[in-house]
Amino acid sequence: MTEQHFDIVIIGAGPGGYSTALRAAQLGKTVALVERDDTLGGTCLNRGCIPSKALLTAAHSVENVRQAERMGINVALQSIDFGRLRDFRMSTVETMTKGLAGLLSHRGVTVFRGEAQLKNGHEVHVAPALGETQVLRSIKAGVGEPVGPELTISGGDIVLATGSRPLPLPNDPFSGALIDSTQALELDTFPSSAVIIGAGAVALEFASLWNASGCKVTLLIRKDRVLSSWERRASMTLTRELKRHGVNVVARTSVSHVDTGANLGATVHYRQGDDCEELTAYGEVVLAAIGRMPNTDADWFASNGIALDERGYVLTDAYGRTNVEGVWALGDITPGHALAHRAFEQGITIAETIAGLDPKPVVDETVPQVVFSFPEAASVGLTLSEAKSRDTIVDPQETAYPMLSNSRMLMSGEGGSMTIVSGAMTDAPDVPLVLGVHIVSPIASDLIAEAEQLVGNHVPLADAARLIHPHPTFSESFGEALLKADGRPLHTR
């Protein structure tokens, strides 16, 4: 059995794992990164963020064709070449994963392909990945060399970044036409009809994608609106806009089971509200998008004494330390938003802490949430109800901005909403701050970046409202909303 030692050994090469590796190597640490898949990047690059956004980018082109007639441009959508669309998706993923491999190699990170198990807190046993007979090592980008049928790597610090997987329905495992998000991305064509169970980002993005392609989409949600944990105005607006785009949103549903049957397609059996009558919805495919579960059920989590909460998430302090000395965890296996950009910052924080620096910990309130639906939705910071529940916040206020007063919003033909939450802290009661921003609009995913800076840096509302936004742009709506929140509305009452 071959043995090697590194300063840091990381299990999992998704956003959390590879960001830790890149920053640690930059700080002069020797780093080993162990991944069982044949490409780096985890779910995000291979089966989530990147391929789904590639398809959504294509779907925006379809939407633009449909919007053209409203503006006097006579064009028609003839067909979708699914072969070329598949090539576009796969080439985008390939470019990103190869670029990541090259960057890791340039930074001097040693990549091992294999199945990892933590032993004794500081040793990682690596067995061949599924379908392989040897553990592979890559020092040069993408060039794997066999190093034996098994390998033990020791590290001064171990970072766990094993990620998550789609959560199945309680009584129905993924099978046949009942698929998860990974299978949905791998479909050779878009379905002609689909039932989607869920009200979160994955469900809404596929609803928008398939609906834009002409698929008949039925969206079954548990509450009265999508994104029910978000600020109410934003979630209600997005629910309305999805319906206006043609998605059949069925609220207050409880799914009992899914019948995949012997034929093509699947039938979802559900009840609505307090009605005891069983209803059904049929789709060529049924996508269950009710959340994800952390990959922490391997025996070695328990055998190493790593503390988990009741849902299986690894418990850590603000810097990523677990209860086991020298073992760290981040990303989807820790409680909080399961988002790649959160994992990026967690990885940087862990690497810098191990290196003896004094970074600030990740604060979930400053992590923006984004849904790439049609239109997009984005949120960062507190809602009004959350602000009111804090004893440290004085006089919380909510300001709603009428989005259709923005010229670019009017041109887009979309509906939307924007809400700013402000309030002062008890130690400075006369200085209101920007505490939260909640947006539904085209390019909300880009607009939220400015809001994150204001919320995360505790910028006074009056100072934020003084910032000039170019005219005429979507971003101008944010500037106008800040002015209104500051009691100085310009183009609104």
The Cα–Cα gap between 313 and 259 comes to 31
DSSP 53-113: HHHHHHHHHHHHHHHHGGGT---------HHHHHHHHHHHHHHHHHHHHHHHHHTT-EEEE
Measured from the Cβ of residue 450, the count of other Cβ atoms closer than 10 Å reads: 18
For the record, the structure tokens of 147 come out as: 């190093």
431, burial (CB in 10 Å: exposed 0-12, middle 13-18, buried 19+): middle
Q: What angle do CA 271, 274, 278 make, to 5 degrees?
A: 25
Among the listed residues 106, 269, 458, 471, the single catalytic one is 471
DSSP 43: H
Other residues' Cβ atoms within 10 Å of the Cβ of residue 165: 17
DSSP state letter for 425: E
- Rounded to whole angstroms, how far apart are CA atoms 235 and 226? 6
Q: Greatest CA separation found in the chain?
A: 74
Instruction: Assess whether 471 carries a catalytic annotation.
Output: yes
Contact 480, 459 (CB under 8 A): no
405 secondary structure, DSSP code: G
179: tokens are: 């698929």
Give one DSSP letter per residue of 263-317, joined into a string: SSSEEEEEEETT----EEEEESEEEE-S-EEES--SHHHHHTT--B-TTSPBP--
What are the residues facing 34 on neighbouring strands? 11, 112
Q: Facing residues of 281 across strands?
A: 268
List, by residue number, the catalytic residues: 471
